[in-house]
Structure 1
Amino acid sequence: MTTLADDVLPLMRSRAESHRWDAANAHGHDMHRGVDILEAAINTADPAEVYAVTHKALASACTVIARADDSSGIIGDVCHRLLALHPQVAATANVAPVKLVDWMIKFQFEGVVDYFELDPVAYAPALGERGMVTYRARLDAIAASLGPRASDDARFGSGHAHEWFTLDHNARRLAVLDRDIDAIIRTHARSRKVAAWLTDTAKAFQEIGEVDLAIDWAEQAVEFDRGHQSLTAASHWCRLLEEHRPNEVLAARLRVFRHWPSAVTAANLHRATGAAWPEHRDEVMATLADNPSDSVTFVLGTLNDVEWAWRLAQSLALTSATTWSELIKAYEKLDPLAVLPVHQRLVDETLVDADARNYRAAAQRLRKMRKLAAGTNRAADIDAFVAELRDTHRRRPRLLQEFDRAGLP
């Protein structure tokens, strides 16, 4: 075993306790250190050695994640890093294309896990022209062995759902590799029933430098409907415009805001308007008034006008506890006593449901209230409120315990 292997592979190997969440997280961090070592060795170690160790590390990582509780995604990130590294080192090490094709097919169709994908675009330099011909032929043979192709709606109920999914993924990536516009549309947009598919098409065109097509397809995704996928597409569309057609950004941001008015889309519009913001202010504020939380959040977080946000919260009858919490955190610097009634209401709302987390939150808020009122004529009122809560909730020992821990009277 080489020195590089000695340094890396012990960090990757499966451990019996990795089925536990905390142990899996710790092991995942060790595995990341192993990938760090591999990445650092690319420019200094023998390419064949780096490839061999990377290849073994990837196999070990897949075995680990198959058995581990990777709820945190730490080990999954390790696998993604190794999957990004593998084609690079395969090309540098001049791995035999036939051998690499055999492994790529086995990994995707017979692997330990079936939730990672390989990118033939990334492997193209390592495979070369002849290797890519072989790879395509192997995929075609698998497709032919599956029988008639099921419809998109029926595919997941077929006995070959994973195989068809993997073949479709490869078809999309090979269309990008070929820079084939018609194939990209056919494989990415598919039946055009889903906004996300239109966004996928836009991203594929962006990848091959077809900017106008990328922008056009992203815009189609935006106008598909008013669902969350179209909203996500709007972010991609606007980023493309910012990079390639900056003169169109303001109109796009305004359109997105009108489609999906929120504090976030208003903030994006505000950034795009620049000096022209006063021309759009009235429309934005009138639109956001239908949602007090968005209205207050925008004024507080984007316009940085704490007093205006406070007035809006009162006039629009803000009810969101989260937004009120953010607002009083800022407003207490201007008028600490004015926020006390809001704190008190939030404490009462927090204690409606019996829950240890709610108890801790209420105790900490009461502690904050006492600090704000200290040395003022409201201090006694806050202590009286605490006493009232202790009496009202005297049958909640855990709550009283949290009060004691917070140093409440």
Structure 2
Amino acid sequence: MASSKNADLRSYLESVDRSALVDLVLELSADDPALHRRLSLRAATHGKPDVKELRRLVGGLRARGFLPYGRGFEYARKAAEVLDGLDSVVGSHPAEIGPLFLAAIQNITRTTEHADDSSGSIGDVLRRAVSGYAAVCRAAPPDPVRLATWLIDFQVAGPGWPDLPIGAFADALGARGLEAYRDRLAQLTGEDGRTARHLREEYLKEIAKDPDALVALYAEELPLAYRYVQIGATLRAAGRAEEAIVWLRRGLAEADRPDRRIDELLADVLTETAEFGEAADLRWKLFTGWPRPESHRALLDAAERAGTLAETSDRADVFLRERAKAGGHAADPLVEILHAAGDADGAWAAGTGHRCSAGIMWRLAVERAETHPAEAIPVFERQVEAEIDNKTKKGYAAAARLATELKVLHDRAGSAGFPDYLAELRHTHRNKPTLIATLNSANL
């Protein structure tokens, strides 16, 4: 429902003479570039598109000078409005609007080279421009050879963005354009760097669908560890599991550095080919290197297939408990795995017994407070002190909220100790007037 002020304004505007109202809007837009742009876009897209005016507005997307972080949002909104205008008329006039999308991509890209886009807002609108151009090329294909050449040269000679996915332009390129694209790729040399390699990879994946050529491309950069992963994944997807296993085993022996992704993929493929014993061995290696609930579940799954579930489970438990004796973060995996398995009492006992890290202990305490309030009280008290140690208003407010929860915990536990705790807290921190005032405001 409109407010009374809006209703009064509407009533006034409806009473103004049409010519005077037009003059008023023009006067306001003269002092407001954003309003002027929006009105210009509406005018240029009303009825038959005013291509000349739209080209001017797209030209305005090439920013002058450096764009700091805050102005990046303003620029992104401006670009989005222009793209909205192009979208509104592209369906009926694709051939005329296509070059404007192309110009928008070029202008926004140049702007990103001189902008702080750590928020990603300009990048988002740039990707939208690429999607719009791909769509318009499908609706009204430009010269396929020129399009193929532009797709490659813009990325190779540009700053490395935006990505112009060949799959999105394949229909517009057609057979002749794809052939030109392949020929242009072949002309690139090793000096063209990683962008050219990426384009070759995407072409082989999306268009040629040639696993052997992909393997050969990845093999050019061996013994980089991740290349073994890519080779294994490519062969696995092609239904060539045995070859994938050979390459992944080579990766374990030859890669320039250890990479758990090689082990994980090899374990998966070995499981698919019923090599359960070797897969379980790899899962043990992965678990001991990164003991977490996920790797523990994967280990037990592999051990069950290998017929060694009972002994593997016991072995893992011994490993976790020996590790936990060091306390702190070393105890975290045991606590997390017990908790993930639904053993709340075991997780609590392990956390308190080995003094696991404060963050995990706090999460356990919040849960424990629901059923065992007395046991959670010491952890809540430590968390109060941790918040106070931040020495900020936000920290003091959090401490007051926790102290209020502590009062409830004492009541639920049938404890009469909260007044003594609160008195000690106020005495210990008597020289922190902001904290004391916060406690007073919370009636503590």
Same fold (TM over 0.5): yes
Cα contact 1:263–1:294 (8 A) shared by 2: yes
State how 1:141-290 maps to structure 2 within 5 Å.
141=187, 143=189, 163-176=192-205, 177-205=207-235, 213=243, 217=247, 230-233=259-262, 251=280, 253-254=283-284, 256-269=286-299, 280-289=312-321, 290=323
Following TM superposition, by how much is the alpha carbon of 1:295 offset from its aligned partner in structure 2, in angstroms? 1.1
Following TM superposition, by how much is the alpha carbon of 1:104 offset from its aligned partner in structure 2, in angstroms? 1.7
Query: C-alpha distance in 1, partners of 2:152/2:231?
Result: 25
Question: Residues 319 and 254 from structure 1, CA distance in 2 versus in 1: closer, same or farther, beyond 3 angstroms?
Answer: closer
Following TM superposition, by how much is the alpha carbon of 1:372 offset from its aligned partner in structure 2, in angstroms? 1.8
Percentage identity across paired residues of the two chains: 23
1:93 aligns with 2:140: yes
Question: Residues 69 and 135 from structure 1, CA distance in 2 versus in 1: closer, same or farther, beyond 3 angstroms?
Answer: same
Query: Where does residue 152 of structure 1 map in the other structure?
Result: none
- What SS does structure 1 have at the residue aligned with 2:373? coil
Query: C-alpha distance in 1, partners of 2:171/2:390?
Result: 60
Following TM superposition, by how much is the alpha carbon of 1:182 offset from its aligned partner in structure 2, in angstroms? 4.8
Following TM superposition, by how much is the alpha carbon of 1:97 offset from its aligned partner in structure 2, in angstroms? 1.3
State how 1:6-405 maps to structure 2 within 5 Å.
13=61, 19=67, 21=69, 24=72, 48=95, 51=98, 54-59=101-106, 61-63=108-110, 65-80=112-127, 82-83=129-130, 86-87=133-134, 89-111=136-158, 113-120=159-166, 122-141=168-187, 143=189, 163-176=192-205, 177-205=207-235, 213=243, 217=247, 230-233=259-262, 251=280, 253-254=283-284, 256-269=286-299, 280-289=312-321, 290=323, 291-300=330-339, 302-315=340-353, 317-352=354-389, 354=391, 358-374=395-411, 377-378=414-415, 381-400=417-436, 402-404=438-440
Cα contact 1:179–1:208 (8 A) shared by 2: no
Q: TM-score, normalised by structure 2?
A: 0.66
- What SS does structure 2 have at the residue aligned with 1:284? helix
AA at the equivalent of 1:282: D
Query: C-alpha distance in 1, partners of 2:146/2:219?
Result: 33
Which segments of 5 or more consecutive residues in structure 1 lack a partner in the other structure? 144-148, 150-159
Query: C-alpha distance in 2, partners of 1:325/1:366?
Result: 15
Query: C-alpha distance in 2, partners of 1:41/1:274?
Result: 61
Higher relative contact order (CA 8 A, sep 6+): 1
AA at the equivalent of 1:324: M
Cα contact 1:226–1:260 (8 A) shared by 2: no
Cα contact 1:262–1:288 (8 A) shared by 2: no
Query: C-alpha distance in 1, partners of 2:263/2:288?
Result: 12
AA at the equivalent of 1:388: E
Q: Which has the larger radius of gyration?
A: 2
Measured against aligned partners, the alpha-carbon deviations of 1:31-79 in whole angstroms (never above 9, x if no partner) come to 789989999999x766546755654553454355445543333443444
AA at the equivalent of 2:118: S
AA at the equivalent of 1:172: E
Question: Residues 22 and 283 from structure 1, CA distance in 2 versus in 1: closer, same or farther, beyond 3 angstroms?
Answer: farther
Following TM superposition, by how much is the alpha carbon of 1:183 offset from its aligned partner in structure 2, in angstroms? 3.7
Superposed CA RMSD in Å reads 4.7
Following TM superposition, by how much is the alpha carbon of 1:19 offset from its aligned partner in structure 2, in angstroms? 4.6
Question: Residues 388 and 271 from structure 1, CA distance in 2 versus in 1: closer, same or farther, beyond 3 angstroms?
Answer: farther
Query: C-alpha distance in 2, partners of 1:186/1:193?
Result: 13
Query: C-alpha distance in 2, partners of 1:330/1:194?
Result: 45
Query: C-alpha distance in 2, partners of 1:353/1:395?
Result: 15
AA at the equivalent of 1:310: W
Measured against aligned partners, the alpha-carbon deviations of 1:282-325 in whole angstroms (never above 9, x if no partner) come to 2332222213111111211x21221121122233x133111101
Following TM superposition, by how much is the alpha carbon of 1:328 offset from its aligned partner in structure 2, in angstroms? 0.9
